[in-house]
């Protein structure tokens, strides 16, 4: 693999290969862009089948974080770590201590947190070696579970979409098909119920389904049937790539807006939704509540009220993305990238002014 050439393609700043034989650590830290501030992005542990696969994933995810952080109004750049290993067998105290020392060696250019395969307890160990870690359980002032704030942000995004489609953000009487009733889905179901929406729900975990049927009077359908139910809003909050050639012909909704990451199977599926007149709330914009919540820790001790206020940006971002999409007649997923790039470009220029104490 031509690594430097690959980095040049999307202008990555730095790729750090971390190896520690004693603990078995093999990790790659990718830093995409630090125009807005230190790179912030979680650590993923996954049994990659090749180093190339791990490098590609680290690069892809780091760039995604640049866009997500920029659009969320955060003063952070984009970065991500992948640890090559099986999270069920390869975790150890030594491995996370070794990883923490590599993070520390970057002196704050990169700040890490949890991602797929990593839990709060792992990050607690990392925090013994570096202060550049967020979402830690053991430290006073940390933000804890981001899911309730993510759910609140998704509600804001859904309301902004409703305003566009029906002229009012009211969800009373609207039917929402909610896929996934886990950490985020459960809180989101409660919000939607409180707003007066009718809920049709699906999850492969029966206990999760029973809970919302009992507590909120939701109607349950089989997991495969959720795509085709008659509804106003389809809310994917379980898996990625659920907007694809198989599901698009089934959708009977006006809006797709939910928390799941990487909802579009491919970009062309975003083009297809646009041509069908289904309003799609880009995933990394509407699910940014979690990262906004984590970023609040870096303002000093975590403050939930301040984090909730910051999450309101999701409503305004969705409005702005819709405006760009209409102005340029482009799908919303492309408009989201324009919004993020605009902030990086503008603030990059503002921050180029020489300050004697900053020595940039």
Which residues make up each annotated binding site for NAD(+)? 180-185
CB 171 within 8 A of CB 196: yes
Specify the residue, 66 or 208, whose C-beta has the smaller distance to ligand NAD: 208
Specify the residue, 159 or 235, whose C-beta has the smaller distance to ligand NAD: 235
By CB under 6 A, residue 179 contacts ligand NAD: yes
Helix (H, G, I), strand (E, B) or coil at 55: helix
Q: Which of 64, 146, 265, 331 binds ligand NAD (CB under 6 A)?
A: 146
DSSP string across 130-191: -S-B-S-SSSTT-----HHHHHHHHHHHHHHHHHHHHSS---TT-EEEEE--SHHHHHHHHH
Give the C-alpha distances (Å, rounded to integers) separating 285 from 9, 48, 296: 24, 28, 17
Q: Which of 290, 295, 317, 340 binds ligand NAD (CB under 6 A)?
A: 290
By CB under 6 A, residue 78 contacts ligand NAD: no
CA-based nearest residue to 340, from 8, 6, 78, 61: 78
Q: Which of 15, 31, 189, 238 binds ligand NAD (CB under 6 A)?
A: 238
Stretch that binds ligand NAD, among 11-19, 237-245, 294-302, 313-321 (CB under 6 A): 237-245
Stretch that binds ligand NAD, among 87-95, 122-130, 142-150, 342-350 (CB under 6 A): 142-150
Please state whether beta strands 77-84 and 25-33 pair in parallel, antiparallel, or not at all (unpaired). Answer: antiparallel
Q: Rounded to an integer, what distance in angstroms lies between the CA atom of residue 56 and that of residue 45? A: 14
CA-based nearest residue to 30, from 71, 70, 63, 4: 63
Stretch that binds ligand NAD, among 13-21, 100-108, 129-137, 204-212 (CB under 6 A): 204-212
CB 305 within 8 A of CB 36: no
276 labelled catalytic: no
Q: Which of 98, 260, 285, 339 binds ligand NAD (CB under 6 A)?
A: 260
Q: Catalytic residue, from 26, 68, 80, 156: name it.
A: 80
Stretch that binds ligand NAD, among 2-10, 176-184, 315-323, 352-360 (CB under 6 A): 176-184
By CB under 6 A, residue 239 contacts ligand NAD: yes
Report, in angstroms and rounded to the nearest whole number, the Rg of the chain calculated over CA atoms: 21
What residue ranges bind ligand NAD (CB under 6 A)?
Answer: 146-147, 150, 179-185, 202-205, 208, 223, 237-239, 259-261, 287, 290
């Amino acid at each position: 693999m031509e690594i430097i050439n690959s980095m040049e393609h999307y202008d990555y700043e730095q790729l750090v290969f971390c190896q520690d034989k004693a603990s078995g650590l093999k990790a790659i830290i990718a830093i995409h862009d630090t125009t807005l501030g230190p790179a912030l992005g979680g650590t993923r542990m996954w049994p990659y089948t090749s180093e190339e696969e791990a490098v590609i994933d680290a690069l892809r995810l780091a760039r995604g974080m640049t866009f997500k952080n920029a659009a969320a109004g955060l003063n952070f750049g984009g970065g991500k770590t992948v640890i090559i290993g099986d999270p069920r067998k390869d975790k150890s105290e030594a491995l996370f201590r070794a990883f923490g020392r590599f993070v520390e060696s970057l002196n704050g250019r990169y700040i890490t947190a949890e991602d797929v395969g990593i839990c709060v307890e792992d990050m607690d160990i990392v925090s013994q070696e570096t202060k550049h870690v967020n979402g830690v359980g053991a430290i006073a002032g940390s933000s804890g579970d981001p899911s309730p704030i993510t759910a609140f942000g998704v509600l804001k995004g859904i309301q902004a979409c409703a305003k566009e489609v029906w002229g009012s953000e009211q969800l009373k009487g609207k039917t929402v098909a909610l896929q996934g009733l886990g950490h985020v889905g459960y809180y989101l179901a409660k919000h939607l119920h409180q707003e007066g929406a009718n809920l049709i729900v699906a999850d492969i975990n029966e206990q999760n389904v029973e809970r919302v049927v009992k507590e909120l009077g939701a109607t349950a359908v089989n997991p495969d049937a959720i795509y085709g139910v008659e509804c106003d809003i389809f809310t994917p909050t379980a898996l990625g790539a659920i907007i694809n050639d198989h599901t698009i012909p089934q959708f009977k909704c006006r809006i797709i807006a939910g928390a799941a990451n990487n909802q579009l199977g491919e970009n062309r599926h975003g083009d297809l939704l646009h041509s069908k007149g289904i309003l799609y709330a880009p995933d990394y914009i509407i699910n940014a509540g979690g990262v906004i919540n984590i970023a609040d820790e870096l303002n000093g001790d975590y403050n939930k009220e301040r984090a909730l206020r910051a999450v309101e940006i999701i409503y305004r971002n969705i409005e702005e993305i819709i405006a760009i999409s209409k102005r340029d007649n482009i799908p919303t997923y492309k408009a989201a990238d324009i919004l993020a790039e605009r902030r990086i470009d503008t603030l990059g220029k503002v921050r180029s002014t020489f300050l004697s104490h900053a020595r940039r």
